[in-house]
Structure 1
Amino acid sequence: MKQRPIPAMLVLLALPWLLSAPTQAADRAVLANQHAVGANAAGNDMHSRLYQTVMQYVQSQTQGYPGKVNIEIQPLDTRIRIAECAVMEGFTVQGARLWGKTHIGVRCLQSDTKPWTLYVQADVQVWGEYAVTGLPVSQGAALQTTDVVMQTGDLSKLPAGIITDVALLAGKQATLNLPLGTVLRPELLKSVPVIMQGQTVQLNSRGDGFVITADGTAMQTANVGQVVDVKVSSGQIIKGVAQSSGKVDVRF
């Protein structure tokens, strides 16, 4: 059966609809894409603010650390949506330490929706100097400045309580044999008395622009940095601080 041709008038009437249908679909796709981009941008902005809050919190809490602090924050999954929040604050769980690998909390304090709390992983590195033995030190031997060298590294990866100030080694001796390269910690050392009870010691009285020297008798045994009573010839008892040299400093 021979098909009848479509009247030209019907083609002309349908043409505007045929042309507009793809355009309307494209417009809907563009609008949907714009909405997704906008939502993603908002989410990324909240992620950025979250990281800034964590960074500011850690920086404020580590100002007194013995070295340069480097903070590495583990990024959250970009698919995690964070509700808008006007005010956020960082915190740590009670007892947690901002040292090495740890978790840092961020809580929302002001939001149009329900307040929230998130935790992020962070690595708080503390780069500084620490004392190690530059020579083998025998048990019972007093540490000399020539026995010790300072090395630089991430203190958070080393044992707790390492010595970072060589001045703390004054008047110390090894409690056991210390091989070359031993990282020095307080438990490896013990204080050596620098003043013995009954010993004659020199008192140095220091003030603004003057130093007065006198001899006296130590009333007790003392290590470096300890307060010791010294009896002078007049019978007066004067308190001072024991020095590594065996002298006693009195400050006014």
Structure 2
Amino acid sequence: MRPVTLPLLTLLCLLAALPVRAQAPLDPALLERVRTLAETAARAAAPADTRVTVEVGALDARLKLAACAQVQPYLPPGVAAWGRSRIGLRCLDGAVKWNVTVPVRVAVYGRAVVASQPLPTGTTLSQEHLAWADIDIAAEPGAVFTNAQALLGRSLARPVAAAEALRAPSLKVRQWFAAGETVQVRAVGPGFAVAAEAQALTAGLEGQDVRVRFESGRVASGRAVAERRVELAL
């Protein structure tokens, strides 16, 4: 490695000492538009009887954005306004058409089932393990449960702390049937539904695709939805 010469070292020190010009704070009206956009998007996905709050963060202080007469907030494609997220800001009327994002934190408060005590991996859930609490259901990934009965008999795939929400990723995937078993297949289409028996060619894991063979020899793919039940979408 070549040694850094003294003049270059001095220049680097001088550059490091220079202050970074901070980006001016967002206009209050623009902040409110960002907050409203995030709240509207969150409410569209939030369950009924929940309360949504939005905290808008700050732009990166290192940004140096050109003046813009019209800034449009938007939700970037593939980004959910849920938990820690980002809202886009793009300049529509300026010498430079810049496009940046600002961080937001979206909380969705609602009543959900939580653990009544610390629960280790492998616990088979019973009523004594469950309690109710008002929580931020958007704080962590995974759907929460609002029906305690749906959790009874389920097993935990990871430990859950006391008062922590029981979420779908916390549960072991159920196997509804094994390969070779006879299953009821329900084919659903626009305005009709047809039921028939078939043989499962693969194990039916909850919510996952499975292949079945009908008596005619036809093979189809559907989704395991319950005990020895498969649904096909036509």
- TM-score of Structure 1 vs Structure 2, range by shorter chain: 0.5 to 0.7
1:212–1:144 Cα change, 3 Å:
farther
Whole-angstrom CA distance in 1 between matches of 2:220 and 2:119: 37
* Residue 163 (structure 1) aligns with: 143
Size of the alignment, in residue pairs?
195
- 1:50 deviates by 3.8
Show structure 1 runs of 5+ residues with no match.
1-45, 75-83
Whole-angstrom CA distance in 1 between matches of 2:131 and 2:87: 35
Whole-angstrom CA distance in 2 between matches of 1:184 and 1:69: 20
Q: Is the 8 A contact 1:173 1:189 kept in 2?
A: yes
- 1:184 deviates by 2.2
**Partner secondary structure for residue 126 of structure 1:** strand
* Residue 70 (structure 1) aligns with: 53
As a proportion of its length, which structure holds more helix?
Answer: 1
1:251–1:121 Cα change, 3 Å:
closer
* Residue 115 (structure 2) aligns with: 133
* Residue 204 (structure 2) aligns with: 222
Is the radius of gyration larger for structure 1 or structure 2?
1
Whole-angstrom CA distance in 1 between matches of 2:84 and 2:220: 50
* Residue 238 (structure 1) aligns with: 220
Which of 188, 212, 216 is equivalent to 2:195?
Answer: 212
Which of 16, 35, 38 is equivalent to 1:55?
Answer: 35
1:142-161 superposed matches below 5 A = 143=125, 148=130, 151-156=133-138, 158=139, 160-161=140-141
Work out whether 1:202 is the aligned partner of 2:184.
yes
RMSD of aligned residue pairs (Cα, Å): 4.9
* Residue 32 (structure 1) aligns with: none
* Residue 89 (structure 1) aligns with: 72
1:53–1:85 Cα change, 3 Å:
farther
As a proportion of its length, which structure holds more strand?
Answer: 2
Whole-angstrom CA distance in 2 between matches of 1:102 and 1:209: 40
Q: Counterpart of 1:66 in structure 2: which amino acid?
A: A
TM-score by length of 1: 0.51
Q: Is the 8 A contact 2:186 2:193 kept in 1?
A: no
TM-score by length of 2: 0.54
Show structure 2 runs of 5+ residues with no match.
1-25, 58-66
Whole-angstrom CA distance in 2 between matches of 1:58 and 1:164: 21
- 1:221 deviates by 1.0
Q: Counterpart of 2:71 in structure 1: which amino acid?
A: M
